Structure 1
Amino acid sequence: MDTAQVSAVASYYRRSSLVLSAVADDLAAHDFGAWARQSTVRDADSATFGPSAATYADMTTTLSRRLRVQAAAAAALADTLRNSALTMADGDGRAATEISRALPAAEVDGR
């Protein structure tokens, strides 16, 4: 396993998680559909603005929630990949120590 490459992929997913969270936060902080609720137009079309406002608000809430789920999944994947790379690197180090310890006893040249 190329632990450097796995660590790079883990970093990518960590950054993706942060971006997704930031977008979800930004969406949640804005009142989408406000233009429809605040419209001062009073004509035959004004009745359609209310449902549009509710639709935009619902879409934004749904999108924000889905982005948070994706952010959590990306963060979990990043953690798993990072931990796997660390475990493999640690295991490689221990194996190298055991091999080098065994070589002199077996009188084998490890080169």
Structure 2
Amino acid sequence: MKITIQDQQRGAELMQTLIQKAWDSAAFKDQLIKNPVGAIEQVTGKELTLRDNKKIVVEDQTNDSVIYFNIPAKMNLDELELTEEQLELVAGGVSPAVVGFGVAIAVCWAVSHL
């Protein structure tokens, strides 16, 4: 799957929208935690189908007395397909970790392309 800069931007915008709605509405935050797919479908107006038995886990991290630490899945960079734009960034000195951020946006990309 190739992820473009525009895909990353749309994914980031969706994430910002979901976070803002969760901050603004306790009911939406509760729905997002209990049924993330349904909440995302409600916001986007599009059906979300997750492949390979994937699931979305939403954790309420608004308690400022707790420090949250997320261990992301280990990436297999050998199987990563980069766009020409991303290849240029890597060639220009951007680390694979930054490119990995683009891969992390994949869920949002999938939602934004439904």
Q: What is the TM-score when the length of structure 2 is the normalising length?
A: 0.30
Pick 1 or 2: higher relative contact order, CA cutoff 8 A, min separation 6: 2
| Higher helix content, 1 or 2 | 1
Q: What is the TM-score when the length of structure 1 is the normalising length?
A: 0.30
